Amino acid sequence: MSDTGHWDPDLFRREGHRMVEWIADYLSGGARSLPVLARVAPGEVAARLPAAMPEAAEDPEAVWRDFVEVVLPGVTHWNHPGFMAYFGITGSGPGILGDLMSTALNVNGMLWRTCPSATELELRVLEWLRDGIGLPGTMLGFLCDTASISSLIALAAAREAADPEIRRTGMTARPDPRPFRVYASDQAHSSIAKACLTLGLGLDGFRAIPHDGDYRMDVGALASAIAADRAAGCRPLAVVATVGTTSTTSVDPVAAIAGICEVEGLWLHVDAAYAGSAALCPEHRFILDGAGRADSLVFNPHKWLFTPIDASALYTRHPEVFRRAFSLVPEYLTTPVSGQVIDLMDYGVQLGRRFRALKLWWVIRCFGAEGLRRRLRSHIALAGGFADWVDRHPRLERLAPAPFSVVCFRARGRDGDGPAAVDRLNMELMERVNASGEVYLSHTRLDPGIALRVAIGNLGTDETDLARCRELIEKELECLCRR
Ligand SMILES: Cc1ncc(COP(=O)(O)O)c(C=O)c1O
C-alpha cells in the first residue's frame, strides 16, 4: 500500500482480478455448488470474527481467505439458480460491473452540480422504463433504495398534498386534528403500514381492506371503509393499490380504485415493486391499466429486472408536491444553478445519493428491452410449467392464480389431518426441501392455511432447477406421508 493509503496499481489489479475471476465463476455455475440457504447457526459467523478492530494493516490475502472461510459459509445465495424464496432476484453481470464503476467513481449525486451525469442519467433511464411499462410521459421518475422507502416518501407527499401546514406544525399541532387514514388491501406489503407508523399516522391510521377470492382488493369494501371513516370523523388520505402482492402476486383493480380516489379526492399510490417489470411485455401491460391516473407508483428493478439490490424506481405526476414536502436547502447546498436544475436531494429524505442509475443503465443497455422481455417471459413460462405440475399432482393443490413467476401451493393433508396438521406438514415439507441446499422456498399464509411459494427470478434458473425442485418435493412428501 502506498503512503497515501491508496493501493498501488499492481496490488489493486491483483486483488481486483482475483475477485472478478471469482465472480465470473460464481455467476457461471459456481453458485450451484454452494448451499443456497446458509447452514450456520445463529452467532456462528460472529464467533469467528475478532471482537476488536485490527490495529495493524492486514495482508489482503488474509482478508480474502477469511471472506472464503468465514463470510461465505454464512451467505444465503440470493444469486443462486435454486433461490426461489420470497422473490427470486438476479445481480446480473452488467449490473455488478455497473455498480463497481459507480463505487469507483464514488460520486454523491445529491445536487445536479455534484455530479451532473448522476442526475441526468438517472432521469433518462427512468424515462426509458416509464415509457417501457406504459406510464404517461408526464410522470417524473427517480431512484430510491427500496420500495419501502419509495412508498414512505410517496405517502409523505400524499400527506403534504392533503395538509401543507404539517410541514411547519408537525402532526400533533396541525390545524385539522382529524386522524388520517391510509387504505390498502390486507395483502399489501407491510411497508405500507410501516410508512403509516413512520409518518405519525400510527398503525390505527392503516386500514386493511379485505380481498376477493383471488386475493385482489375488494373495491366495494374500500368504498364502504372510506364512507365509514368519514362518518366517524376520520380523514381519508390515500389508497395504495398493489400490482403483484407479496404473497400471491395478485393484481388489485387499479382503474376501479383510481375512480374511487378521484371521486374522494385521495392520493393513489401503486405498489408494483415486483410485478411492475412484467409490464415491459406488451401482453402483460394491462396490469398497469389505470396506473397512469395514480399520483405515484413504485417498481423495483432490483426485484425482477436483473439489477443488483438496491434500486427502486419511484414515479409521480406531482414532483412539485415531493419538493414541497422535502426541500430544505441550507446555504452550503446552494449552487449557481439552484432552481434551474433538478437537485434530487429535494425529492426525498436523504441528502447523499449514490450513482445507482449506472448499474441500471448498464443492465438495460446490455440486455436491451427485447432481452429483458425474453427473460421475463421465460420466468413466467417456467412458473406456468410448475403450476401445471402442481395442478396435476394428486397430493398437491394450488392456492392462488399464478399470473407471473410465483406459484403458491401446498401438500394436501393426510387422512384425518385438521388445518393445524396440514400447516405443520407443509412447514416440515418446506424445511426438508430447503435442507437439501439445492433449492430455497419460502412460505406465506393464505385463506386455507400455510402456502409454499416457488418464486422464479434468477437468470440462472432453468427447467433442470424446476425439475429438481419437483423431485425434492415429491421425495420429501413421500417420506412425510409414509411416517
Ligand atoms: C409488493 C411489495 N412491496 C414492497 C416490498 C418491499 O420491498 P423493498 O425490500 O424494496 O423495500 C415488497 C417486498 O417483497 C413487495 O413484495
Give tens-digit pLDDT for 201-246.
Answer: 999 999 999 999 999 999 999 999 999 999 999 999 999 999 999 9
Q: Are residues 117 and 170 in the same domain?
A: yes
Q: Is residue 25 part of a domain?
A: no
The residue whose CA is least distant from atom 7 of ligand 1 is 147
Sign of the dihedral through C-alpha 58, 60, 62, 63? positive
Residue reference for cell 482475483: 18
Does some domain include residue 113?
A: yes
- How far is CA 158 from its chain centroid? 21
| pLDDT (0 to 100) of residue 191 | 98
**Are the beta carbons of 262 and 293 closer than 8 angstroms?**
yes
Strand positions, DSSP E, 279-416:
296-299, 312-316, 396-398, 406-411
Whether 274 is catalytic: no
C-alpha–C-alpha distance, residues 249 and 230, integer Å: 31
Answer whether residue 10 is part of any domain.
no
Give CA–CA dist 470/387, Å, rounded: 11
Distance (Å, rounded) from C-alpha 30 to C-alpha 140?
Answer: 40
Preceding amide of 271 cis, omega within 30:
no
Query: Does the beta carbon of 312 sit less than 6 angstroms from any atom of ligand 1?
Result: yes
For the stretch 4-53, pLDDT in tens is 788 999 999 999 999 999 999 999 999 999 999 999 999 999 999 999 99
Q: Are residues 394 and 460 in the same domain?
A: yes
Q: Is the CB of 405 under 6 A from ligand 1?
A: no
Considering the domain architecture, whether residues 174 and 121 belong to the same structural domain is answered as: yes
Q: Given the CA of residue 86, which atom of ligand 1 is nearest to it?
A: 14
| Residue 273 and residue 160 share a domain | yes
Picking from 298, 320, 353, the residue at the C-terminal end of a domain is 353
Same domain, 288 and 337: yes
CB 194 within 8 A of CB 188: no
The verdict on 200 and 278 lying in the same domain is: yes
Domain membership flag for residue 183: yes
Same domain, 324 and 452: no
Which atom of ligand 1 is least distant from the CA of 246? 16
Going from the Cα of 86 to the center of ligand 1, the distance in angstroms, rounded, reads: 10
Q: In the chain, which stretches have pLDDT less than 70? A: 1-2
Instruction: Please state the pTM of the whole predicted model.
Output: 0.97
Query: At 194, phi and psi to the nearest 5?
Result: -65, -40
425 plus 311 within the same structural domain: no
Task: Give the pLDDT score at 48.
Answer: 97
Q: Is residue 195 part of a domain?
A: yes
| Same domain, residue pair 347 and 457 | no
Where a domain ends, among 324, 353, 382?
Answer: 353
CA distances 219 to 225, 253, 256, Å, are 10, 8, 7
Report the pLDDT value the prediction gives residue 126, as an integer from 0 to 100.
Answer: 98
387 in a structural domain: yes
274 lines ligand 1 (CB under 6 A): yes
Give a yes or no: residue 82 inside a domain.
no
**pLDDT for the residue numbered 1:** 65
Tell me how many domains the chain contains. Answer: 2
C-alpha to C-alpha distance for 261 and 245, rounded to whole angstroms: 20
For residue 310, give the ligand 1 atom closest to its CA.
Answer: 10
Q: Taking the mean position of all CA atoms in its chain, how far away is CA 375?
A: 18
Q: Which residues pair with 454 in a beta bridge?
A: 407
If asked whether residues 205 and 254 sit together in one domain, one would say yes
Which of 302, 330, 353 is the last residue in one of the domains?
Answer: 353
Provide the residue range defining the domain that includes 160. Answer: 108-353
Supply the CATH number for residue 148's domain: 3.40.640.10
Output the pLDDT for position 4.
78
Q: What is the pLDDT of residue 455?
A: 98
Residues 176 and 268 in one domain: yes
Q: What is the pLDDT of residue 415?
A: 87
**pLDDT score recorded for residue 101:** 98
pLDDT score for 3: 72
Mutate which of 83, 152, 189 for ligand 1 pocket (most atoms within 8 A of beta carbon):
189
Q: What is the CATH number of the domain that holds 428?
A: 3.90.1150.10
384 and 338 inside one domain: no
How far, in Å, from the CA of 176 to the mean position of ligand 1? Answer: 32
